[in-house]
Structure 1
Amino acid sequence: MKSLFKHREIWLGLAIVAVILAVTLRFPRFSEPSNLLTVFNDTSILMMLALGQMAVILTRCIDLSMASNLALTGMIVAMANAAFPFIPVPLLILGCVVVGAALGAFNGLLVWKLNIPAIVVTLGTLTIFRGLVFVISGGAWVNAAQMSPDFIQLQRSVFLGLPVLSWFAIVVAALVYVLMTRTPLGRAFYAIGVNPTAAVYTGIDVGKTKFYAFVLAGAISGLAGYLWISRYVIASVEVASGYELNIIAACVIGGVSIAGGIGTVGGALLGALFLGVVNNALPVIGVSPFWQMAISGAAILLAVVLNARGERSKGRVILRGA
């Protein structure tokens, strides 16, 4: 039982339940199944993005451009739908994934071939991708009146009691779980995060593995581009501005180590869900947006402290006092 509670997922699950129960004491309807499903649906995009970021962080890198990738692919698919409404939505979604993966590959190539630190690369591409949104749109917005009904309604449809948006998150989580736990590439992500030098001696190409991590993050960002635009029915330069901080926060709170090599799919999902529950609960109890930001920041700092303590290796005692 004691070893069970060493897992971050257990504590996160209990924290989520505690927040729900605390809010329910004042507003009983908050814990109704329909409302909890709405919270899950609202957090679905963040969950998917956190999984992409987790893959990158496991390799001792970070991707600050995921939100800008989302905005750029979202603008491209919105403009394509407005100009050619006859294009099937599944084909548009596939295009988003391909474009997002290409943008992620651009990041990965710079990190791999030029050996530039990932934080520098993605800080630059964050601005480049966001600037391209303005360039291709001319600063104009694409709104609901310009989008086709099928484009807007797909992720709002309900299947087996859940909106399709939630099913997107479930399918992506299942695929990433299989990738991380059942494939050589997933094991390579962990290996180079734990010890990149030792990974080389086992035959792992560190640079190429990092490249694949960025491609995965980019593909998920591209998919999220369509989902975000079709959900909020607006495409503009400001879409998901600053959202990269939420993505990283979800990973850190979920126990993904910034130092690399440590993290689970379940932890990243619960970290995102924790933020989703908190962000939905605080307005209900009348907490101002400023305090919401402060509480989220405090949660991130606490998670970093817990991660650091958990990763600290215990030295072997060779001398003891009398």
Structure 2
Amino acid sequence: MTAETRPASEPGAGRGRSGPLGQLLRARESSLVLILLVVLLGTAAVNPRFLGAGSLRDLLLNVSIISLVVVGQTMVLLMKHVDLSVGSVVGLSAFLTGSLFLSVPGLPVPLAMLFGLGLGAVLGAVNGLLVAYGRVPALVATLGTLYVFRGLTYAVVHGGQINAGNLPPAFLSFATGSLLGLPNLVLLVLLVMVGFGIYLKSYRGGREYYAVGSNSEAAVLAGINVTGRTLTGFVLSGAIAGLAGVLYLARYGTVDASAGSGLELQVIAAAVVGGVSINGGVGTLLGAGTGAMLLGTMGSALVTLRAPAFYQQAIQGALLLLAISIDIVVARRTARGLQQRSRR
């Protein structure tokens, strides 16, 4: 891959042109952390219990599911695609895993997680085949599967509901248990985020996601299998959403046909606010995870301050518009810089 086709955020990119953009991205992540601290300390100044051990634990647990799904969504966004079906995948995986526990009461927890991963991977493969081989725009394909998968959920649920009383205590205790003071659920999500973060940064397969999103034609010339990489990205997104469905069931204990509804919008907002460009090729899991934490903290802070729910949605929308505006400005400046270089 040449320096001209290497995405600006990819590790090892040239320092000349990518330096200012890399500095901007780092400044953006730092700004998110600063805003997060301001929200935490500001809310704690009004209500000191907000920073209590119990409140922080609940905050981390509430953000963990979104943060996990953000991992798969980030990989898709890096390729200049989007996966709108993740909320439906979470809901279907959660209910079918609960049904599996009803059929096999002694099912080990790891097998339940493998079931969710496998189910999500199959659903993600449907999206990947439509986008990579069917050449259907990702927005259209995943919008269609969003409704198809949700329809399957309603058909399977058929007005039923999985309750905590139907689930094994070992499964429920996994979400509520802790290790080294951190909930097991949070530790698992951190492990997944760190693992995929290293993969995207340090391995050729991970860097190819940046290349595909930056310039798919140049990626082909560089010997990258764009079709295969696209399919793999959607399979991974689906698999992670399937695992998130299992953890959703463990976290809340009760699921019905509406489980996971609207989750896809929160996930996309968190990723974009965290610096993952909708134009592809730019972003990190660190930024995306910070974006999820920021939006989750703001939501909890508004609840603590007894603000109307409208403000939470309005702030999320405002942050999303701000993030997209920054992406547009950066893209235009980068394009002008490339034109000036080509003229010289």
TM over 0.5: yes
Aligned amino acid, residue 268 of structure 2:
I
Alignment-derived partner of residue 203 in structure 2? 183
What do the CA deviations read for 1:261-302 (whole angstroms, capped 9, x no partner)? 001011100000001110110111121112221122111111
Matches within 5 A, 1:223-234: 223-234=243-254
Q: Aligned partners of 1:191 and 1:295: how far apart in 2?
A: 32
Alignment-derived partner of residue 283 in structure 1? 303
User: Structure 1: 5+ residue runs without aligned partners?
Assistant: none
Instruction: Tell whether the 8 Å contact from 1:82 to 1:148 is kept in structure 2 after alignment.
Output: no
State the aligned residue count.
317
Q: Is residue 165 from structure 1 mapped to residue 182 from structure 2 by the alignment?
A: no
Alignment-derived partner of residue 133 in structure 2? 113
Q: Quick one: structure 1 residues 286 and 137, their matched pair in 2 at CA, closer, same or farther if it must change by over 3 Å?
A: closer
Please point out which of 114, 123, 126 is paired with 2:143. Answer: 123
Please point out which of 258, 262, 265 is paired with 2:282. Answer: 262
Query: Which is worse superposed, 305-314 or 233-242?
Result: 305-314
> How much has 1:31 moved relative to structure 2?
2.8
User: Structure 2: 5+ residue runs without aligned partners?
Assistant: 1-19
SS in 2 for 1:235: coil
Q: Normalising to structure 1: TM-score of the pair?
A: 0.94
Q: Is residue 99 from structure 1 mapped to residue 119 from structure 2 by the alignment?
A: yes
Please point out which of 35, 39, 60 is paired with 1:19. Answer: 39
Q: Give me the CA root mean square deviation.
A: 1.7
Q: Is residue 136 from structure 1 mapped to residue 156 from structure 2 by the alignment?
A: yes
Instruction: Tell whether the 8 Å contact from 1:52 to 1:217 is kept in structure 2 after alignment.
Output: yes
SS in 2 for 1:259: coil
> How much has 1:237 moved relative to structure 2?
0.9
Instruction: Tell whether the 8 Å contact from 2:57 to 2:183 is kept in structure 1 after alignment.
Output: no
> How much has 1:220 moved relative to structure 2?
0.6
Q: Normalising to structure 2: TM-score of the pair?
A: 0.88
What do the CA deviations read for 1:219-251 (whole angstroms, capped 9, x no partner)? 110110011111111121100111110000001
Q: Aligned partners of 1:4 and 1:133: how far apart in 2?
A: 44
Q: Quick one: structure 1 residues 310 and 5, their matched pair in 2 at CA, closer, same or farther if it must change by over 3 Å?
A: closer
What do the CA deviations read for 1:112-144 (whole angstroms, capped 9, x no partner)? 111111111101110111111122222211111
Q: Aligned partners of 1:153 and 1:144: how far apart in 2?
A: 11
What do the CA deviations read for 1:132-180 (whole angstroms, capped 9, x no partner)? 1122222211111222212211121111111101111111111111220
Aligned amino acid, residue 48 of structure 1:
L
Give the % identical residues: 38
What do the CA deviations read for 1:76-100 (whole angstroms, capped 9, x no partner)? 1000001211111111111111111
Please point out which of 194, 199, 219 is paired with 1:174. Answer: 194
